[in-house]
Amino acid sequence: MQKTTRRDFIRKAGLLAATAMAVPSAVLDGKTTRARTAESLIPREDSHDAGKGRLTLEWKDFTGVMKHTFTISGSSRNSTPIVITRITWNGYTGYGEASMPPYLGESQASVHEFLKKVRDEILPRFDDPFRIQEIMEETDRLAANNTAAKASVDIALHDLTGRIMGQPWWKIWGFSPEKTPCTSFTIGYDDDDEVVREKTDEASWAKILKVKLGMGEEADKRMIRLIRSINRDTPICIDANQGWNDRYMALDMIGWLRENGVVMIEQPMSKYDLDSHAWLCERSPLPIIADESCQRLTDIRKLAGAFHGINIKLMKCTGMREAREMVTLAKALGMKLMIGCMTETSVAISAAAQLSPEMEWADLDGNILLANDCFDGMKLHDGKITLDDMPGLGVTPKGLLA
């Protein structure tokens, strides 16, 4: 985003306030209730000096509405609570996001509480957004967990500093944009054959599919047979979401899946059962990737030997700073890399995409699964992630956030 004057910033914030008061929030959250103005992206009264080197953090709730009911081993849902953050400094603006699927244990309320502490206790001590390391270390120490809330601060700081430098983060990190992988497109588990057929058809553009299994041997084979009856050739990644309980059954399934064009298995068994994963890892003809077992940087070392690789997600690992460190450590340990996502808007997806040239696999379809994405950002070309020269994350708000 180009540099804006303080006057522009205040004028736009005023327009946003007026719009939020007058227009139903359908554009924002797909619901008919009116937009909330409390804790919105409107600067607080005492933020009048936002243009003088002060870091100002604001946020707004958003409900991500999914195009299809999303079922994984353990739960189903139609929407995801999200909080969009904005940090402003000297007329520059950076956007961030916290997305909270139920199993993360965070909510919009818990994110608000956490962000208030960041706003009131941490940011006033800094006047330089480039001190991301120190700001995020202090943010991390505020409370355990709250990883999505932490990520929403980290992502906004990266967007902000990238915009100030006038460069995208893939370039600042020195990555090669032509090395981006194709993103997989996720087909959730469904008992209804017609829904599975419909979703398989919808995924016909994708160069690689990701199928959610872990419901049991027969149910899982039924899904794959159904998908293969429509799509014979597209490589498939499997995410069992810890759903398989027996290592021998898991190994048999992996052999059968390989014969059906599957190329990788994500988190086949319980996140706590590293022994079974190590046993599988030694014998599996396909790479086994840790997702639930791998939350943060400090988890990686104990996973070497139990998994062939890790799935990095910004909402688990507190954002882009730690994700970049996880890339370095995993590569040093000879592990494969995957980048994944929750149901997220194009803000968090575009943030994750900055790391994608380093990845063997990418599962960055969270924004495509949304019916109401409130940002423009990373684009796919023929299924492949493309990275452009737009600074920061390369995102532009749309709808009420514009």
Which residues contact Mg ion (rule: CB under 5 A)? 239, 266, 291
- Choose between 209 and 400: whose C-beta lies nearer to Mg ion: 209
Q: At its nearest, how many Å lie between Mg ion and the CB of residue 343?
A: 13
The whole-angstrom separation of Cα 334 and Cα 351 is 24
- Choose between 81 and 366: whose C-beta lies nearer to Mg ion: 366
CA angle 73/380/308 to nearest 5° reads 45
What secondary structure, in 3-state letters, does the chain show?
A: CCCCCHHHHHHHHHHHHHHHHHCECHHHHCCCCECCCCCCCCCCHHHCCHHHCCCEEEEEEEEEEEEEEEEECCEEEEEEEEEEEEEEECCEEEEEEEECCHHHCCCHHHHHHHHHHHHHHHHHHCCCCCCHHHHHHHHHHCCCCCHHHHHHHHHHHHHHHHHHHCCEHHHHCCCCHHHCCEEEEEECCCCCHHHHHHHHHHCCCCCEEEEECCCCHHHHHHHHHHHHHHCCCCCEEEECCCCCCCHHHHHHHHHHHHHCCEEEEECCCCCCCHHHHHHHHHHCCCCEEECCCCCCHHHHHHHECCECEEEECHHHHCCHHHHHHHHHHHHHCCCEEEECCCCCCHHHHHHHHCCHHHCCEECCCCCCCECCCCEECCEEECCEEECCCCCECCCEECHHHC
- Choose between 97 and 266: whose C-beta lies nearer to Mg ion: 266
Q: At its nearest, how many Å lie between Mg ion and the CB of residue 240?
A: 8
Q: At its nearest, how many Å lie between Mg ion and the CB of residue 267?
A: 5
Q: At its nearest, how many Å lie between Mg ion and the CB of residue 242?
A: 9
* Nearest position to Mg ion, beta carbon: 291
Q: At its nearest, how many Å lie between Mg ion and the CB of residue 318?
A: 18
- Choose between 13 and 213: whose C-beta lies nearer to Mg ion: 213
Q: At its nearest, how many Å lie between Mg ion and the CB of residue 212?
A: 8
- Choose between 73 and 139: whose C-beta lies nearer to Mg ion: 73
- Choose between 163 and 316: whose C-beta lies nearer to Mg ion: 316
Q: At its nearest, how many Å lie between Mg ion and the CB of residue 70?
A: 12
- Choose between 147 and 161: whose C-beta lies nearer to Mg ion: 147
Q: At its nearest, how many Å lie between Mg ion and the CB of residue 361?
A: 11
- Choose between 182 and 265: whose C-beta lies nearer to Mg ion: 265
